[in-house]
Amino acid sequence: MIDDKIDFTGKTAIITGAASGMGELTSREMALRGAAIVLADINLERAEAIAQEIRAAGGRAIAVKTDVRKFDDIQKAVDTAVSEFGSADITVSFAGGEPARMLNGPHNFIEQSVDLIDWGLQVNGRAPLYMARAVLPQMMKQHGGVIINIGSVSGMEATAAIVYSTAKSAMVGLTRSIAQYGARYGIRCCCVAPGPVLTRAAMAKMQTALGRAAEPAEIVELVMYLASDKGAFITGTTYLADGGRVCM
């Protein structure tokens, strides 16, 4: 059960990867707590269906087709937030995925094509950087905002998923740098690095010290806390929510 005391009244959130998984759950939960939501996803049909459900429940939401590999698409999502809802207060970059799995390619690094490698770096690493570049001018104008990057336990440990691990490890440095850059304007930046999460059944097979994978809501609640006024003194840090996997 996600904390009902977290409040986003008057805020606008842009969420990539909003058409499924934790991006979808975050969109719904933030909308329930007063946020206007821009659901940014390459799957426009599904994103629009979720937006319609949010609106039917009394919330505010709009879907924008967004290929996070393209800066113009990300900029369009930010511009839509401002034109439709008047501000861009929160971003959460959920869009991502292990490229071999997402593209049905080889898992052995030396067998992976340059196109697969580029996809993995672009979606998991470059897209959050693009998001920061697109939204910072608006947040600076507003004198405030929160940028949430999504890392991974794979960025904290050695894994066979070399491309994914490389991109996700970059979220630590990106988060620190954006936090430093934005602080004078009242802009915060944090990173959440999940371990295995039950958005897919296969995640239950990943070992953790606690002996289980996380429920999606456990990660989403942390994201929402950091994005809310409850986390107002938190910036520049990465929060590892891995059930103790790294310390095993």
Which amino acids are annotated catalytic? 164
- Token pair listed for 117: 């490698």
Query: What is 52-119 written as a DSSP string?
Result: HHHHHTT-EEEEEE--TT-HHHHHHHHHHHHHHHS---EEEE-----HHHHTT--SSGGG--HHHHHH
CA distances from 215 to 65, 195, 208 (A): 27, 11, 13
Q: How far apart are CA 188 and CA 230, in angstroms?
A: 12
Question: What percent of the residues of the chain are helix, what percent strand, and what percent coil, each to the nearest 5?
Answer: 50, 15, 35
57 CB-contact burial (10 Å; exposed 0-12 / middle 13-18 / buried 19+) = exposed
H or E element in which residue 218 lies: helix 216-227
Q: Label residue 31 left, alpha or beta by phi (over 0 means left) and psi (-120 to 50 means alpha).
A: alpha
